[in-house]
Amino acid sequence: MRRFAMSVATYAGCGLFAQICAWLGFLPPWLPAWWCVGAAMVNTLFYLAIRSGYNLRLRDPSMTELQLVVSMVAVMVLVYHADAARGALLMLFPVPLLFGVLRLRLLQMLRVGLVAVTGYAVVMAVLLIREPWRIELNLELVNLLSLSAVMVFVALMCAYISRVRVELSSSLARIEDMAQMDALTGVFNRRHLDATLLLEIQRWGRRSRNGLVLCMVDVDHFKNINDTYGHAVGDDVLVAVAQALGTSIRANDYLARFGGEEFVILLDMSNAEDWLTVCERARRQIEVLQVAAIDNTPVRISMGVALCAHGDTAATLLERADKALYRAKAEGRNCIRVAPESTAITAS
């Protein structure tokens, strides 16, 4: 719709230009008004097609190429009546191609350019047959040659810019993915977690989900691993833990690295037996994890669980889960503890 609005504004500018040409005597006085009426009718049809959803049935829902072809025909009408100002009005032909930068590929751009060149040749042929006194053939041939060269050049440049735009869009998407993924473990990072947790609490408040359970996971004695084997090996352990946690939870659950050796799991369930099953499965998955870099020394995790309650915010939910995690570490590690504010059972 933004592109459509820009197109309508361009038609309005061309209509004003045509009116100025008419005042100066280069176009018939009646032409600008009728031209604007025709442009308004055509654009109304495009608007209705977009608003009704009919355009979604087409291969190109934006109808960019079709709109450009129609605009070329509109320029041909002005060119036909321009006489002495015909060369100046040829400058209007490349303008629609600029809209193709937002959508069209090179072949499509060349097709639209071919419509303009062919249309101008047809206009000249019609004038030569019906009103030969209105044209100077040699001058029109020069105009045609110039228009052909300009349209090819503009089409090539617009297609190049369009390709660069697509590449930039793809690069931006990759950058956005990188910005929300933890570079080491490949799971979501803290930034993405903060945004997701806020949205999920809002969903829970609207009853759009059954229940929200936040699990804070910490790798037990991770400092000892770093001190004994080095930080590079510690990174390998974190990657292995993230992969094991990812395989132990369900496809609709959520995993993010909170920071350091801590991870957060979000579960969509309210039944204590359900979320406890997932948490226990994750704990056991880590318990049998073997990492060659640490000579298959057992890796253990502690988990603190908080069930979202009325009045909870992202900060309070994280705080409650963190307190439960400290209880788990204080009570022997390698276990699951539930935030005391919740009414859920405590498991170990």
Type of residue found at 304: G
User: CA geometry: angle at 302 spanning 210 and 260, to 5°?
Assistant: 95
21-35, 56-70, 154-168, 272-286: range with highest mean pLDDT: 21-35
**Any catalytic annotation for residue 261?**
yes
Rounded distance between C-alpha atoms, residue 144 and residue 124, angstroms: 9
C-alpha neighbours within 13 Å on the C-beta side of residue 156: 6
Rounded alpha-carbon distances, angstroms, from residue 295 to 8, 79, 168: 70, 82, 45
Average model confidence (pLDDT) across the chain? 87
Q: How confident is the model at residue 342 (pLDDT cuts 50, 70, 90)?
A: very low
Name 57's Cβ contacts closer than 8 Å, sequence gap at least 6: none
Structure tokens at 112: 């639209």
Mean pLDDT, residues 265-269 taken together:
87
- CA–CA separation, 190 vs 210, rounded Å? 24
- pLDDT at site 346: 40
Q: What's the pLDDT at 209?
A: 63
- For residue 303, give the DSSP letter: E
Selected catalytic residue, list 176, 261, 280, 331:
261
Give phi and psi for 254, each to the nearest 5: -130, 135
**Main-chain dihedrals φ then ψ at residue 258, nearest 5 degrees:** -80, -30
| Record: fold of 190-338 | Alpha-Beta Plaits (3.30.70)
Q: Which helix (H) or strand (E) holds 267?
A: strand 262-268
Distance CA 14, CA 21 (A): 10
Dig out the tokens for 315 from the structure. Answer: 């900060």
Tell whether the model's pLDDT for residue 129 goes beyond 50: yes
Confidence of residue 208 (pLDDT cuts 50, 70, 90): low
* pTM beyond 0.75, yes or no: no
- Are the C-beta atoms of 283 and 336 separated by less than 8 Å? yes
Distance CA 178, CA 198 (A): 20
Q: Domain-by-domain residue ranges, the chain?
A: 2-179, 190-338
